[in-house]
Amino acid sequence: MSRRFSRALVRTPARSFAQGLRMADRGRPDPELMLRQHQQYVEVLRRLGLEVTVLQPLEGFPDAHFVEDAAVVTPRLAVMTRPGALERQGETGPLEPEVARWREVAHIRAPGTLDGGDVLEVGQEVFVGLSGRTNRQGFEQLGRLLAPQGYRCTAVRVSEGLHLTSSVTCPGSGTLLLAGAFAAVPEFQPYRRIVVEPAESAAANVLPVNGTVLVPAGFPRTRRALEAAGFPTLEVDNSEARKMDGALTCMSLLF
């Protein structure tokens, strides 16, 4: 069974958002369109029944609207991460009180680093990407923190892309949507797998919300593949966040 959510935390992008980190230049994001797309994202979450808290932008942290990276929220615990990029480590402090309203809070401690974008929950199994942002200590700490809830954490090497969830997400119980080399990763073989076509690899990041799978606009083949596998989908345009290596899951914490 997929988890059902009642709330979302999001953060409005700062005016400085185009100065955030990125792996490659994918064109200059349009600030107005970014804000409009973010508002549409929030509206979709509300339409799907979530109570959405929209936090104020953090001008000093141009990537702070990618709230997914700063915390991992499970049914009984929120783990404040220690982001792997130094520039992003100050995002967790302002987020913590918002998360603490709803959950007991634990922390990833130095020398551990962990970005929430490397954490993929598939039922009681949690895959953790070892990436340029998340190290083994971060993975091990998360494993210890989540074990009392019956979660089992498994490390997976992120051989391409920014985060694990840039290339692998779980559209619904028992199914993974995967791009590129991740389709062949042994740990994922027990699941029903939908492999996105190379031309649509950016569509591997989808966001399931209580029975509807949000899919980035502009990837019709992936959308059709999900529908054919029995998942109702809804398109959300996130072209501007994508220019900054962001995807649909990155922009919210659902719980």
Q: Which of 44, 63, 134, 158 binds ligand CIR (CB under 6 A)?
A: 63
Shortest distance (Å) from residue 230 CB to ligand CIR: 26
Closest by CA position to 161, among listed 205, 126, 95: 205
Q: Does 240 bind ligand CIR (CB under 6 A)?
A: no
List the interface residues with ligand CIR, window 64-83 (CB under 6 A).
66, 68-69
How many other CB atoms are found less than 10 A from the CB of residue 132? 16
244 in contact with ligand CIR (CB under 6 A): yes
Position among 117, 171, 208, 216 found at the interface with ligand CIR (CB under 6 A): 117
Catalytic residues, by residue number, are 163, 250
Answer for the pair 161, 203: CB distance below 8 angstroms, yes or no: no
One character per residue 18-47, x = contact with ligand CIR (rule: CB under 6 A): --xxx-------------------------
Instruction: Confirm or reject binding of residue 112 to ligand CIR (CB under 6 A).
Output: no
For the bound state, the minimum distance from the C-beta of residue 104 to ligand CIR, rounded and expressed in Å, comes to 23
**Cα 146–Cα 112–Cα 164 angle in degrees, nearest 5:** 70
Q: Amino acid identity, residue 221?
A: R
Rounded (5°) CA angle 253-254-255:
125
Contact at 8 Å (CB) between 57 and 12? Answer: yes
Query: Taking the CA atoms of the chain, what radius of gyration do you get in angstroms?
Result: 17
**Alpha-carbon gap, residue 204 to 169, rounded angstroms:** 6
Output 33 or 148, the one with its CB closest to ligand CIR.
33
Q: Choose which of 65, 179, 245, 254 interacts with ligand CIR (CB under 6 A).
A: 245
Phi, psi of 86 (to 5 degrees): -50, -40
| Closer by beta carbon to ligand CIR, 185 or else 202 | 202
C-beta of 165 vs 233, nearer to ligand CIR: 165
The site that binds ligand CIR (CB under 6 A) totals a number of residues, namely 19
Give, for 49, the enclosing helix (H) or strand (E).
Answer: none
In the complex, least distance from residue 46 CB atom to ligand CIR, rounded to whole angstroms: 22
Tokens 């109570």 correspond to 51
SS3 56: coil
Is residue 89 involved in binding ligand CIR (CB under 6 A)? no
Q: Does 166 sit near ligand CIR (CB under 6 A)?
A: yes
DSSP letter at 218 equals T
Least separation in angstroms between CB 63 and ligand CIR: 4
Q: Is 91 in the site for ligand CIR (CB under 6 A)?
A: no
Separation between Cα atoms, residue 171 and residue 209, nearest integer Å: 9
Binding site for ligand CIR (CB under 6 A): 20-22, 63, 66, 68-69, 85, 88, 117, 162-163, 165-166, 244-247, 250
